[in-house]
Amino acid sequence: MGKTTNAVVTSRVISQTIRHGRAVNAVADFLRSRLRVPNVYLDPMGANLSRVDVLAVDASCSGDIHAVEVKMLTRPTVTKEMKLHVEVAKGLPAHFKYLAIPRNITNIAVDLGLFSPDGIGRVGILLISESGDQLPIVELAIKPERFLLDPSKSAQVERFLSKAKPDMYVRL
């Protein structure tokens, strides 16, 4: 049995960090290309956004809020674990909520409980394909449906948006 050195562990952590960062960039670019006049925030901090990897606001901050949690899973994931990730995504403070996962890591055809208990809203699933040094490709596997957004959560996000500068935006 060989020993795992600190260098090997550090290399794996850096590799996962790079994979996650590249996936976040790819997801941000995907949303930027899909929305009309988006402001996109990468890894926003504050306003109850600690689980959000990408926050996009359509129509230059006067429209719908889209939030994505990116999970760069490294092994096939059982339905029970995927349902937990979906439940976390349901708690994101946004009108449209997404979970971005690597392609071929799990079976998204099974019932993952994507719908809100009241039937208003469905978590969207984005699939990320990696190919070496190429930019990851993001595709929409399950289209999200609009959630009701609690006014107090909306106010928190609005406060964040009024102070933060977007990482990607359209110049008008």
pLDDT at residue 9 in the model: 47
How is the chain split into domains, by residue range?
Answer: 6-167
The whole-model pTM stands at 0.86
CB 148 within 8 A of CB 20: no
DSSP helix, strand, coil percent of the chain (3-state; round to 5): 35, 25, 40
Short-list 85, 84, 95, CA closest to 59:
95
Average pLDDT across each block of 10 residues of the chain; the chain has 172 residues. List them in order.
51 75 95 90 78 86 87 87 94 95 82 93 96 90 95 87 87 64
pLDDT of residue 46: 65
